[in-house]
Amino acid sequence: MTIQGLTVALSKGRIMDETLKLMAAAGMPLPEELDSRKLILRSPGGEVDFILAKPVDVPTYVEYGVADVGIAGKDVLVEAGRDLYELLDLGIGKCKMSVAGLPEQQSHYSMPRVASKYPRIATEYFRSRGQQVEVIFLNGSVELAPLIGLAERIVDVVETGRTLRENGLVVQEDIMDISTRVVANRMSFRLKSTAIDEFVGRMRAVVEKGE
């Protein structure tokens, strides 16, 4: 088994089930205790360790090398700005990073406020367009901000559009396409190249077959 000795950081939550399905289809050795509350799981043959991390923390685990490989959304990766190798687009967890707000709202402020879970992405987007805004960081339920007057606009991910629709908000601009990526630690990529190549190769074969 050439995958021996790999530590993989998985993003708990939304993309976890689909990630595991792809891994199973790729013939990856998977742990048996996935329904437990354990945070470190080992495959039955002991080849691979899985860390079950909060999605925003996956880039941190991988940059510090405590995980060789990580599975994370492009949104999280861009926001984290960590020094990682991006090796594969898994084609799951597809959504868009967008600017949204109330329809036909005129700005009353010289420095409009933008609420976001993605302050770096939001700041960089408006800076690149030469627009001065004040970015307010929120941890979630960002759609609340325009409804209660905290901010005129939000920057957030839009998947089905349901959250926006049900809160009377509309997309104003799209910033980027998002999907789930495989990333690797730079040192691991050299020292464990056989295992990482094998892992990425198997995953790529499944992704390409599915397309």
Q: Measured between alpha carbons, how far is 151 from 148 in angstroms, rounded to an integer?
A: 8
Instruction: Determine, following the binding rule CB under 6 A, whether residue 157 of this chain makes contact with ligand PRP.
Output: yes
Q: Tell me the window of 44-52, 141-149, 172-180, 194-202 that interacts with ligand PRP (CB under 6 A).
A: 141-149
CA 64/CA 24 separation, integer angstroms: 27
Give the x/- contact pattern for ligand PRP in 82-111, rule: CB under 6 A.
Answer: ------------------------------
- CA distance linking residue 61 with residue 140, whole number of Å: 22
Q: How many CB atoms lie within 10 A of CB 63?
A: 18
Among 63, 79, 156, 198, binds ligand PRP (CB under 6 A): 156
Distance from C-alpha of 143 to C-alpha of 164, rounded to nearest angstrom: 7
Question: H or E element: which one contains 73?
Answer: strand 69-73
Shortest distance, position 138 Cβ to ligand PRP, whole Å: 8
Minimum distance of ligand PRP from residue 119's CB (angstroms) = 14
Report d(CA 136, CA 146) in Å as an integer: 12
Residue with Cβ nearer ligand PRP (142 or 207): 142
Asked if 159 is part of the footprint of ligand PRP (rule: CB under 6 A), the reply reads yes
Sites of contact with ligand PRP (CB under 6 A) = 140-143, 156-163
